[in-house]
Structures are given as C-alpha cells and as structure tokens.
Amino acid sequence: MTRALNFSAGPATLPEPVLRRAAAEMLDWNGSGMSVMEMSHRGKEFIAIHAQAEADLRELLTIPANYKVLFLQGGGLGQNACVPMNLLRGHAGADFINTGEWMKKTIKEAKNYCKVNVAATAEAGGFTSVPKFDSWKLDPNAAYVHICLNETIGGVEYHWTPDTGAVPLVADMSSNILSRPIDVSRYGLIYAGAQKNIGPSGLTIVIVREDLIGQAIPHTPSVFDYKQQADNDSMYNTPPTYAIYIAGLVFKHIKALGGLKAMEEHNRIKAAVLYDYLDATSFYSNPVAREDRSLMNVPFKLRDESLDEAFLKGAQGRGMVQLKGHRSVGGMRASIYNAMSVEGVQALVAYMKEFEASHG
Ligand code: PMP
C-alpha cells in the first residue's frame, strides 16, 4: 500500500496512526463486540467515547469551565446561520470583517437574520491581507464581531487576536483549529467543521461562552439551538457518532505528540520550507502579505499558467494529489494541515524546484 501525499484543503489527510487504530477497532471496539458505527449514542460505550473526546479537546485548547463544547452537524456553513440565530440576543445587527471567500459566505447568510455591518474589508487588495485593526469601524451595539481566523482559499490567517472589548468575538476556525495554541477566553464563540485538522466531515465543533446562549430567535430549529444542545450534552438528536470517535482519536494523537505548542512548531517548520522557496523564486508566487500568510493553506501560482496542467500531472506521478487551487482563484494550493509531514512538504518543494529547472 502506498499512501498519497494529500494536499487537499478538506476533507484532508489524517494521521496514519489514527486510521490504523480505527481499522483495528472497526469490527469490535474495546471488547464491545460492536463497531463504533453500530453503537447507540445513548449506550455506555459511546457516552464514554464522547466524554473522553470532549475532555481531551478541553485539555488541548485549555477551554475555560464557563464554555460549552458542542458536537453538532451542518458544517462551517451551517454555523453562518446558527450564529446569528443564537447570538443576536435582541441586537439589531453584527459586525463582520471581510477577508475573503469564506467571510463573503458568512456575510451573505447573516443578511437573512440581521443588519450586517462590514466593519472592514480586504477586498480592494484582492483579499491578500487581514485589514489592520485600527481601520475597523466597529459598532459598539453589535451583537458580536464575526471573523474567519484562516481563509482556506486565500491563504490569509490572523496571527493576532482582535480586542473587541465587551462585544463577543466569533471566529470561524474551520481550517486552523488545533494548529497552534489559542486563548479561548478571548472569544465568545469558536466554530469549526472537522474535516481539516480534526477528523471526518459531518462533525462541526462549537465552543461557546455559556452566558451567550439561551436567547435564540423564535423558530430556531431545536437541533441548531445551542442551549438545547448544551442542555442535552449535544445529544438532543443523534450526533455524528463515528466522526466524534475519530476526532477523539485525533485529539489523543495530538496530545501524545506534545499538544498544540508542538503542533505549532511542526507547522511553522513546514510553512517556512514552502514560503522560503516561494520567496526565492520568480517561477512561482504567493500574493499574501507576509505577516498574514497562512500556516495551513499556501496558494501559489506558476508564472506561466499554461504550465498548470503539466505541473499537476507531474505531481500526480509523484504521488502528490489535490494541489489544484480553488476554482474561484485558480493556480495551485498546498494545504499543509497538522497531519502533513515535514518530509511531505520537502518532497513538494523538491518537485517544484525540479519542475522549475525543466520548464523555467
Ligand atoms: N469556513 C471555512 C474557513 C472553510 O474552510 C470551510 C470549508 N472549506 C467552510 C467554512 C465550510 O465548511 P462546510 O463545508 O463544512 O460547511
């Protein structure tokens, strides 16, 4: 068996030891005689799996006791509706920082629920940076300020935490959660689809300060009402049980590697290998402002885009897959999440150099 070097933006590569363990436990989890997929979510086996996954996530992110951890469904985009439904709390509107494709979707969805104030936008620069905080026109009466901590398509990441004072900060961390330590207490709510650094798609994690919930707007679907889910340990309805189990294995794996500080070190090394090369060549380029470059998603273009297809074909021949950029921006994108190895990124750069030498 040969595993591909998978640079997909998500669903994405997962740690091989996690996949091996899941394979070994597929038919019989822990002597239960059942696959985790076959278990009742209300049985003692799955309740133990769920509780352990939550405990390990709390430990990894040092989540304060006054935050609820919810294991939901509906993906990152589902949260674009759930957040206003749950967090408006009588306010007329909320603030949004437009950093690219994912925030554009967030803004569009929020317009169904409230007054949208785009407090800052990086559109003029082609979404290649995070707007400087002193340019943000925040509304002191906003229900919350919504940001995307890592724009997966544009490869733009916040390397700082905005101070929004008394107004809760909401962050879409779908593509950089668990890639480095963050201070959860600086946020009112964090959400992430699981399919990058956490596990399979189908699981959406919400971490929310408990004083912010319990005031959902009328007609909020019960399964998307944070308070109802919190009061039922995320089991108001059947949770995505198998995805939670895999996420739990990933959390244990990250803990064994040294937690989020170790992840950050590993991710900084990988990103430097790629960005250092991109900065040293004119054959490829990355448009993002240096201080806002993503550690997880590295978009790049070939100087001559007529070579794109040959580049991708050569990569495929070397077992490197999913390097094609998002259809909205073209070019290439290497997603280098936690589970991508330093050697994997080195192999990519070696191939890029080789391609440059033969086509430059
Ligand atoms: N936000 C970000 C930052 C993402 O990268 C993605 C998916 N790539 C989404 C939201 C949408 O997530 P989903 O497909 O799980 O709804």
> pLDDT of 202-239, one tens digit each?
999 999 999 999 999 999 999 999 999 999 999 999 99
Q: What is the pLDDT of residue 72?
A: 98
Question: Does position 340 have pLDDT exceeding 90, yes or no?
Answer: yes
- Which two three-digit tokens encode residue 16? 């091989």
Closest CA to 240 of 74, 44, 2: 74
Q: Are 152 and 174 in contact (CB under 8 A)?
A: yes
Mean pLDDT of 341-346: 98
DSSP string, 318-344: TTEE--BPPTTT-SEEEE--TTS-HHH
Is ligand 1 within 6 A of the CB of residue 77? yes
Query: CA 157 → CA 163, 296, 302, distances in Å?
Result: 16, 9, 22
Question: Does position 92 have pLDDT exceeding 90, yes or no?
Answer: yes
> Residues 116-170: pLDDT tens digits?
999 999 999 999 999 999 999 999 999 999 999 999 999 999 999 999 999 999 9
> Residues 105-125: pLDDT tens digits?
999 999 999 999 999 999 999
- Residue 178 CA to ligand 1 centre (angstroms): 15
- Told to judge if 276 belongs to the known catalytic residues of this protein, a careful annotator would answer no
Q: What is the pLDDT of residue 328?
A: 87
Closest CA to 107 of 162, 197, 170, 159: 170
- Told to judge if 102 belongs to the known catalytic residues of this protein, a careful annotator would answer yes
Mean pLDDT of 258-278: 98
Burial class (CB in 10 A: 0-12, 13-18, 19+), 1: exposed
Is ligand 1 within 6 A of the CB of residue 172? yes
For the chain, what is the mean pLDDT? Answer: 98
- Residue 55 CA to ligand 1 centre (angstroms): 25
Is ligand 1 within 6 A of the CB of residue 100? no
Whole-model pTM: value is 0.98
Q: Please, what are the domains in the chain?
A: 16-256 (3.40.640.10), 259-359 (3.90.1150.10)
> Whole-angstrom Cα distance, residue 155 to residue 166?
29
ipTM of the complex: 0.99
> Whole-angstrom Cα distance, residue 236 to residue 226?
10
Confidence band (pLDDT; 50, 70, 90) for 329? confident
- Told to judge if 196 belongs to the known catalytic residues of this protein, a careful annotator would answer yes
Kindly state the greatest CA–CA separation across the chain: 62
Q: What percent of the chain has pLDDT over 90?
A: 98
Closest CA to 191 of 79, 64, 318, 45: 79
Mean pLDDT of 335-339: 98
